[in-house]
Amino acid sequence: MHDLLIKRSPRLDRESLIGYAKELNMDINKFIEAIDKQKGASIIERDLNLAKELDLYITPAFYINGIKVLGVRDKEYFKEIIFKELENAKKK
Protein backbone atom coordinates (compact mmCIF):
# COMPACT_ATOMS: atom_id res chain seq x y z
CA MET A 1 0.00 0.00 0.00
CA HIS A 2 2.84 2.39 0.86
CA ASP A 3 4.26 2.45 -2.68
CA LEU A 4 0.82 2.91 -4.18
CA LEU A 5 0.05 5.83 -1.83
CA ILE A 6 3.29 7.55 -2.79
CA LYS A 7 2.69 6.97 -6.50
CA ARG A 8 -0.91 8.22 -6.41
CA SER A 9 -0.40 11.13 -4.01
CA PRO A 10 -2.06 13.56 -3.47
CA ARG A 11 -5.21 11.50 -4.19
CA LEU A 12 -5.71 10.30 -0.63
CA ASP A 13 -9.46 10.81 -0.19
CA ARG A 14 -11.63 8.00 1.18
CA GLU A 15 -12.83 6.69 -2.18
CA SER A 16 -9.31 6.70 -3.63
CA LEU A 17 -7.99 4.79 -0.63
CA ILE A 18 -10.74 2.20 -0.98
CA GLY A 19 -9.90 1.89 -4.67
CA TYR A 20 -6.24 1.28 -3.82
CA ALA A 21 -7.23 -1.39 -1.29
CA LYS A 22 -9.31 -3.12 -3.98
CA GLU A 23 -6.40 -2.90 -6.41
CA LEU A 24 -4.22 -4.64 -3.82
CA ASN A 25 -6.85 -7.34 -3.17
CA MET A 26 -7.22 -6.33 0.46
CA ASP A 27 -10.22 -7.29 2.57
CA ILE A 28 -12.39 -4.30 1.61
CA ASN A 29 -14.90 -4.64 4.45
CA LYS A 30 -12.12 -4.75 7.02
CA PHE A 31 -10.36 -1.83 5.32
CA ILE A 32 -13.49 0.34 5.26
CA GLU A 33 -14.19 -0.49 8.90
CA ALA A 34 -10.64 0.54 9.83
CA ILE A 35 -11.03 3.86 7.98
CA ASP A 36 -14.49 4.61 9.38
CA LYS A 37 -13.58 3.72 12.96
CA GLN A 38 -10.18 5.43 12.61
CA LYS A 39 -8.41 2.34 13.85
CA GLY A 40 -4.79 3.16 14.49
CA ALA A 41 -5.48 6.90 14.91
CA SER A 42 -3.93 6.93 18.38
CA ILE A 43 -0.75 5.30 17.04
CA ILE A 44 -0.55 7.84 14.23
CA GLU A 45 -1.10 10.69 16.69
CA ARG A 46 1.63 9.29 18.97
CA ASP A 47 4.07 9.08 16.05
CA LEU A 48 3.23 12.60 14.87
CA ASN A 49 3.83 13.97 18.37
CA LEU A 50 7.17 12.17 18.57
CA ALA A 51 8.20 13.56 15.18
CA LYS A 52 7.33 17.06 16.38
CA GLU A 53 9.30 16.55 19.60
CA LEU A 54 12.33 15.41 17.61
CA ASP A 55 11.87 18.19 15.04
CA LEU A 56 11.58 15.65 12.22
CA TYR A 57 9.89 17.28 9.29
CA ILE A 58 11.34 15.36 6.36
CA THR A 59 11.97 11.75 5.44
CA PRO A 60 14.11 9.88 5.57
CA ALA A 61 15.46 10.92 8.95
CA PHE A 62 18.27 9.25 10.87
CA TYR A 63 20.10 9.76 14.13
CA ILE A 64 23.72 8.70 14.29
CA ASN A 65 25.01 8.92 17.83
CA GLY A 66 22.70 11.87 18.47
CA ILE A 67 23.44 13.63 15.16
CA LYS A 68 20.30 14.27 13.14
CA VAL A 69 20.57 13.51 9.42
CA LEU A 70 17.62 14.61 7.30
CA GLY A 71 16.86 13.82 3.70
CA VAL A 72 18.40 11.51 1.15
CA ARG A 73 22.18 11.30 1.56
CA ASP A 74 24.81 9.22 -0.19
CA LYS A 75 26.80 6.60 1.66
CA GLU A 76 29.88 8.84 1.79
CA TYR A 77 27.96 11.36 3.91
CA PHE A 78 27.04 8.63 6.39
CA LYS A 79 30.56 7.20 6.40
CA GLU A 80 32.02 10.62 7.21
CA ILE A 81 29.74 11.05 10.23
CA ILE A 82 30.28 7.49 11.45
CA PHE A 83 34.07 7.67 11.15
CA LYS A 84 34.16 11.03 12.95
CA GLU A 85 32.06 9.59 15.76
CA LEU A 86 34.31 6.53 15.97
CA GLU A 87 37.34 8.79 16.26
CA ASN A 88 35.64 10.85 18.96
CA ALA A 89 34.83 7.66 20.87
CA LYS A 90 38.47 6.56 20.76
CA LYS A 91 39.57 9.89 22.28
CA LYS A 92 37.34 9.40 25.33
- pLDDT tens column, 26-69: 999 999 999 999 999 999 999 999 999 988 888 899 999 999 99
Q: Are residues 6 and 35 in the same domain?
A: yes
Q: For residue 10, is it within any domain? A: yes
Domain containing 6 equals 2-39
Give SS3 for 9: coil
Diameter of the chain by CA atoms? 59
Domain count, the chain: 2
Q: For residue 45, is it within any domain? A: no
Residues 72, 59: contact at Cβ < 8 Å? no
Q: For residue 15, is it within any domain? A: yes
Look over the chain and give the mean of its residue pLDDT values, rounded to a whole number. 92
User: What pLDDT does 5 receive?
Assistant: 86
Distance CA 31, CA 28 (A): 5
Listed ranges 49-53, 77-81, 87-91; the one with the highest mean pLDDT: 77-81
Q: For residue 31, is it within any domain? A: yes
